[in-house]
Amino acid sequence: MTVDAMNPSGKSRSTGSLLNDPNVRGIAYQILTMVLLVLFIYWVSANTIENLKRANIASGYGFLNGRAGFDLGQSLVPYTSDSTYGRALYVGFLNTLLVAVTGIITATIIGFIVGIGRLSNNWLIAKLSLVYVEVFRNIPPLLVIFFWYSGVLAVLPQPRESLALPFDMYVNNRGLAFPKPVFDAGSQFIFYALVIGIVAAFLVSRYANRRQMATGERLPVLWVNLALIFGLPLLAYLATGMPISFDIPVAGKFNLTGGSVVGPEFLSLFLALSFYTASFIAEIVRAGIRGVSKGQTEAAGALGIRPGLTTRLVIVPQAMRIIIPPLTSQYLNLTKNSSLAIAIGYADLVAVGGTILNQTGQSVEVVSIWLIVYLSLSLITSVFMNWFNARMALVER
Amino acid sequence: MTSQSYIRSEMLGPTSPPISESGAFFWLKQNLFATPKDTVLTLIGLLALGWFLPPMINWLFIDAAWTGGGRGVCATVAQGGSQPEGWSGACWAFVGAKLDQFAFGRYPVDERWRPMLVAVLFVLLLAPMLIPKVPYKGINAILLFLVLPVVSFFLLVGGVFGLEHVETALWGGLMVTLILSFVGIVVSLPLGILLALGRRSKMPVIRILCTAFIEIVRGIPLITVLFMASVMLPLFMPPGMTVDKFLRALIGVSLFASAYMAEVVRGGLQAIPKGQSEGADSLGLSYWQKMRLIVLPQALKLVIPGIVNTFIGMFKDTSLVSIISMFDLLGIVRLNFSDANWASPVTPLTGLVFAGFIFWLFCFGMSRYSGFMERVLDRGHKQ
């Protein structure tokens, strides 16, 4: 009203208010951004098409059916140099998953040990853990990979002078040889027993929880579950007449024969990623446990709960709520860092893609495959995170 | 009343605590052997140290070859050198001989005063910036973040003022690592702030664009970003136009870091109560005034640890450019493994330990400084 009174002339008022209206200006900015973006994309794609035409590269994903013509050091599924590019990328993807999953398991174990060690009352253990964290956190992972690859594993002895490790394992400059389990007839029952054991353990925990809620009595869930998960397969193993045997590597005159071998590429990547990520996980674990206020422990003590049970029932569930979100992002980081495989020639998704890119020049397509795979991995992770956070939020007051 | 025979006229000094409650013995009992479990842990720790530390010290210092002019001092007799059979130790002579290369790469020897001058200028400007008590922070920041990059560019590239032109392909070593990370920091902080503001903007188009950029870049590994920068950037340019390889890596690293920086800054922005922003609105400040004077100073202060962590991450990530065949510190160290004059079984490990130590020194320094700044800037907001 006041503005109208101060601006009697209609025309100048409308332009003035239009220029100063935040909504109108916002829409104008957005239209401007859109136009610039469209122009930029048009310019880039025109250039790309022109460049591709000059280099005689046909765009599209048809090249995936072409013959790859290169060998891969390690593959979980049958693969020869006559396989297609698509198959090679699939092998690379599986290799990425393999190193990511094994790395995540090891990093979590080391990380939790070191993280709890940092909170230990024992001065020596706390300092050792601190040194571990400060050393590995401040060194590039790529350097750690090279440290294992060209510093340690490359200078191990030749295959005929392999170093013997416990459990019939041997290590030499071509990798680690270990006994390969051979599954004879009847061994599927062991697998079935394992599945039944896990399902039964799950049901037992649910029953025990419900019972505790109703009566307050706590059953010895841990021991029952351990017996179910490990005991059942063991029983099945004995009942079916021990169908699993081991193909043990034997040191021959020039080389090792038998057993399974993992190459130094996988080993160095796996070790480096585990040690590097473990230092971050240790800090997360420490922060999580420190994040549970001291009053919780004291309250549990006042209720007469034993120290061991306090840790299990009061501290850990609350600490996990703080730990798990950053922990998943570290898992994702480890998965992304596994792309450093390309530096030492471990055939992961990026390394295989890089080879294909050099051979065919299909850079746009290869990069788009990388983007899709890694983005879906991180999308899955964030979906899980949102689900987890929502679930945890219910527990909160 | 009988007079008291003795009255003490001065105070007794405090007696020292009983031996069981003080001194080295007490400390040991309290910190290492408090419970049987503790004792076992201590023994395990001591065993691990005893197994690990002496061989390491031996390898690094005692058995190491400190001087020498070639691979002979670092190889055993069987490998064609002068060391006894079974010898293994660090080959510091190799690092000593290659130190210049590790610092400057293949930068022409006669022109090396130029990167050195840049380094001196950098230290002279950075040191007063880092010490909180030194005044004139504003001028200092302008000199460091705006003037120094321009001056360094002309000094390092040359081609003007009678300076010889030096190709970026000749650059290498620690110089490249530091340039990449410094430019990455200078670019990524403002870009990250803009992206974070964009992600919280009320304009849907801007918000969606910024969110998409941040999430895509954060979802993929740096190495694919570098591949994109080195393989796809030339495709995007008009035919015949080329972008310098060094510049491509710079663009890749900076864009990657800004996405992470944006998320850190967004965390800080979210932590600022809405009342601050509303208060600024009621004072009639414009959007940019509000951000510059009210919101960002508080938000950035909150997330200093996160910002420094991003810097540290970026500093470590610069080592990845060695994969797209550029010779940063790690790249140049690896390049020298194949030098026939120095090739021996211990050379790679020595070079990597050296490079690792340099990286560690910078990263550890940064994280220590961030802890220091946190304490200085702490205005008592902490709960």
B46 and A122 within 8 Å at the Cβ level: the answer is no
Last residue of a domain, one of A54, A76, A98: A54
Is A382 domain-assigned? yes
Residues A89/A369, Cβ–Cβ less than 8 Å = yes
- Shortest distance between the Cα of B85 and any Cα of chain A, in A, equals 14
The answer as to CATH 1.10.3720.10 being correct for domain B94-377 is yes
For residue A50, list chain B residues with Cβ-Cβ distance below 8 A. 238-239
Rounded to the nearest 10 degrees, how much is the dihedral formed by the CA atoms of B303, B306, B308, B313? -160
Is A64 domain-assigned? no
- Band of pLDDT at residue A83, cut at 50, 70 and 90: confident
For residue A342, list chain B residues with Cβ-Cβ distance below 8 A. 223, 323
B320 and A37 within 8 Å at the Cβ level: the answer is no
Residues B173/B327, Cβ–Cβ less than 8 Å = yes
Q: Give dist(CA B303, CA B325) in Å, integer.
A: 35
A143 and B319 within 8 Å at the Cβ level: the answer is yes
For residue B248, list chain A residues with Cβ-Cβ distance below 8 A. none
- Band of pLDDT at residue A278, cut at 50, 70 and 90: very high
Q: Is B284 on the interface with A (CB under 8 A)?
A: no
CB pairs under 8 A between A and B: 162
* Helix, coil or strand: residue B65: strand
Percent of chain B's residues with pLDDT above 90 = 12
Give whichever of A101-105, A209-213, B226-230 has the largest mean pLDDT: A101-105
* Helix, coil or strand: residue B166: coil
Using alpha carbons, list the distances in angstroms from residue A2 to A15, A18, A153. Answer: 17, 17, 81
Same domain, A294 and A389: yes
Residues B104/B168, Cβ–Cβ less than 8 Å = no
Instruction: Domain count for chain A, please give it.
Output: 3
Residues A103/A334, Cβ–Cβ less than 8 Å = yes
Same domain, A224 and A367: no
Residues B286/B277, Cβ–Cβ less than 8 Å = no
Is A350 domain-assigned? yes
Of B49, B227, B239, the CB nearest to A54: B239
Same domain, A266 and A379: yes
pLDDT > 50? residue A36: yes
Same domain, A336 and A237: no
Of B238, B356, B367, the CB nearest to A147: B356
Containing H/E element for A53? helix A22-54
Within 10 A of B21 (CB to CB), how many other CB atoms are there? 11
For residue B220, list chain A residues with Cβ-Cβ distance below 8 A. 336, 370-371, 374-375
Residue A222: what pLDDT? 79
For residue A374, list chain B residues with Cβ-Cβ distance below 8 A. 219-221, 224
Q: Is B239 on the interface with A (CB under 8 A)?
A: yes
Is A384 domain-assigned? yes
Q: Would you state the structure tokens that stand for residue B120, as one six-digit string?
A: 């001196």
Best of A139, A329, A379 to disrupt the B interface (most B CBs within 10 Å) is A139
Mean pLDDT, to the nearest integer, of A313-327?
A: 85
Q: Give dist(CA A349, CA B213) in Å, integer.
A: 23
pLDDT > 60? residue A193: yes
- Band of pLDDT at residue A9, cut at 50, 70 and 90: very low
B346 and A155 within 8 Å at the Cβ level: the answer is yes
pLDDT > 90? residue A67: no
pLDDT in tens for each of the 383 residues of chain B?
556 678 888 888 888 877 777 777 788 887 888 788 888 888 998 998 898 888 888 888 888 778 877 777 788 777 777 777 777 888 888 888 888 888 888 888 878 888 888 888 888 888 888 888 888 878 888 888 888 888 888 888 777 777 777 777 888 889 889 999 989 988 999 999 999 999 988 888 889 999 999 988 988 899 888 888 888 888 888 777 777 888 888 888 999 999 999 999 988 888 888 899 899 999 989 888 999 998 898 888 888 888 888 899 889 988 888 888 788 888 888 888 888 888 888 888 888 999 999 999 999 999 888 888 878 876 655 44
* Contacts of residue A87, Cβ cutoff 8 Å, sequence gap at least 6: A68, A79
Using alpha carbons, list the distances in angstroms from residue A250 to A157, A167, A326, A342. Answer: 16, 12, 44, 32
Is A175 domain-assigned? no
pLDDT in tens, A242-274: 777 777 777 666 666 766 778 888 888 999 999
Which chain A residue lies closest to B353 (C-alpha atoms)?
A: A147
For residue B320, list chain A residues with Cβ-Cβ distance below 8 A. 140, 142, 340
Give residues 359 to 378 of B whose Cβ lies within 8 Å of A: 359-360, 363-364, 367
pLDDT > 80? residue A56: no
Same domain, A275 and A240: no
Residue A132: what pLDDT? 93
Within 10 A of B242 (CB to CB), how many other CB atoms are there? 10
For residue A37, list chain B residues with Cβ-Cβ distance below 8 A. 209
Residue A3: what pLDDT? 46
Rounded to the nearest 10 degrees, how much is the dihedral formed by the CA atoms of B89, A165, A271, B349? 10
Q: What is the mean pLDDT of chain A?
A: 82
- Shortest distance between the Cα of B215 and any Cα of chain A, in A, equals 9
Q: What is the pTM of this model?
A: 0.84
Best of B46, B49, B236 to disrupt the A interface (most A CBs within 10 Å) is B236
A147 and B239 within 8 Å at the Cβ level: the answer is no
Same domain, A113 and A187: no
Mean pLDDT, to the nearest integer, of A16-37?
A: 82
A124 and B45 within 8 Å at the Cβ level: the answer is yes
Is A71 domain-assigned? no
Same domain, A383 and A341: yes
* φ, ψ (nearest 5 deg) of residue A171: -130, 135
Tokens 């006894």 sit on residue: B84
Q: Is B31 on the interface with A (CB under 8 A)?
A: yes
Task: Supply the CATH number for residue A325's domain.
Answer: 1.10.3720.10
Q: Which of the residue ranges A35-49, A77-91, A273-287 would you say has the lowest mean pLDDT?
A: A77-91
Using alpha carbons, list the distances in angstroms from residue A367 to A349, A362, B129, B248, B320. Answer: 11, 9, 41, 16, 17
Q: Would you state the structure tokens that stand for residue A335, as one six-digit string?
A: 């998965």
Q: Give dist(CA B60, CA B350) in Å, integer.
A: 9
Residue A393: what pLDDT? 60
Best of B26, B79, B205 to disrupt the A interface (most A CBs within 10 Å) is B205
Same domain, A130 and A269: yes
Scanning B62-112, the segments in alpha helix (DSSP H) are 92-104
Residue A2: what pLDDT? 45
Same domain, A41 and A93: no
Domain hosting A21: range is 2-54
Is A77 domain-assigned? no
Q: Give dist(CA A236, CA A241) in Å, integer.
A: 9
B203 and A30 within 8 Å at the Cβ level: the answer is yes
Q: Give dist(CA A330, CA B329) in Å, integer.
A: 26
- Band of pLDDT at residue A11, cut at 50, 70 and 90: very low
* Helix, coil or strand: residue B171: strand
In chain B, where the domains are located: 94-377
Q: Give dist(CA B52, CA A199) in Å, integer.
A: 43
Of A47, A143, A363, the CB nearest to B330: A143
Q: Is B316 on the interface with A (CB under 8 A)?
A: yes
For residue B323, list chain A residues with Cβ-Cβ distance below 8 A. 142, 340, 342-343
For residue B45, list chain A residues with Cβ-Cβ distance below 8 A. 122, 124-125, 128
Of B205, B237, B346, the CB nearest to A47: B237
What value of ipTM does the predicted structure carry?
A: 0.85
B238 and A124 within 8 Å at the Cβ level: the answer is no
Which chain B residue lies closest to A41 (C-alpha atoms)?
A: B236
DSSP type of residue A156: S
Q: Give dist(CA B183, CA B247) in Å, integer.
A: 11
* φ, ψ (nearest 5 deg) of residue B71: -70, -15
Tokens 């079916």 sit on residue: A240
Same domain, A326 and A213: no
For residue A52, list chain B residues with Cβ-Cβ distance below 8 A. 235
Cα angle A66, A265, B56; round to 5: 165
Q: Give dist(CA A42, CA A56) in Å, integer.
A: 21
Kindly report each contact of residues B129-134 with a partner whose C-beta sits within 8 Å and lies 24 or more positions away, as own/partner. Answer: B130/B369, B132/B373, B132/B376
Same domain, A201 and A344: no
* φ, ψ (nearest 5 deg) of residue A175: 125, -165
Residue A254: what pLDDT? 64
Which chain A residue lies closest to B203 (C-alpha atoms)?
A: A26
Which chain B residue lies closest to A337 (C-alpha atoms)?
A: B221
Q: Give dist(CA A331, CA B156) in Å, integer.
A: 40
B232 and A143 within 8 Å at the Cβ level: the answer is no
Is A156 domain-assigned? no
Same domain, A390 and A285: yes
* Helix, coil or strand: residue B76: strand
Percent of chain A's residues with pLDDT above 90 = 20
Mean pLDDT, to the nearest integer, of A113-120?
A: 90
Residue A252: what pLDDT? 67
Q: Give dist(CA B197, CA A123) in Å, integer.
A: 45
Q: Is the dihedral of CA A210, A212, A217, A221 positive or negative?
A: positive
- Shortest distance between the Cα of A22 and any Cα of chain B, in A, equals 10
Q: E strands within chain A?
A: 163-165, 169-172, 175-178, 180-183, 244-247, 250-251, 256-257, 260-262
Best of B31, B56, B364 to disrupt the A interface (most A CBs within 10 Å) is B31
- Shortest distance between the Cα of B189 and any Cα of chain A, in A, equals 21
B205 and A30 within 8 Å at the Cβ level: the answer is yes
